[in-house]
Structure 1
């Protein structure tokens, strides 16, 4: 695939991989939130937020 025809996601991932090759120690603590959200997509991110909110509500109701 030529670089002119890459979409934004593939370009972003290629640049991230190149950065990890140049600086492998920078990823010692994991990727963090951008990698998590980028890997999940918008549906997965929405579900994750929903689970966090419901979990907080359940905690607040039953453990206070």
Structure 2
């Protein structure tokens, strides 16, 4: 695939792979932190703007429904 036709997901993955080769100890630290806190950037990158909007909407509706039932 040519460089100018590369999708954003493939570009992010290639940059991540380059960073892994250049800085293996930093990758180990990132891996530990990712398992503790999750990785929101990857989630949002995979969902796109529509999926992210739907996820936020579902979370807000969930909080509203829970607050109604707990009162």
> Can you give the 5+ residue segments of structure 2 that lack an aligned partner in the other structure?
none
User: What are the superposed Cα offsets for residues 2-47 of structure 1, whole Å, 9 maximum, x if unpaired?
Assistant: 324434x032232123334543412232451101100111111111
TM-score w.r.t. the length of structure 2 is 0.67
Q: Tell which deviates more after alignment, 14-23 or 39-48.
A: 14-23
In structure 2, the partner of 1:47 is 54
In structure 2, the partner of 1:16 is 16
Q: Distance in 2 between matches of 1:56 and 1:48?
A: 13
Q: Quick one: higher RCO (CA 8 Å, sep 6+), 1 or 2?
A: 2
Instruction: Judging by fraction of residues, say which structure has more helix.
Output: 2
Q: CA RMSD in A?
A: 2.1
- Paired residues, number: 63
Aligned structure 1 segments of 4 or more residues deviating by more than 3 angstroms: 20-24
TM-score w.r.t. the length of structure 1 is 0.72
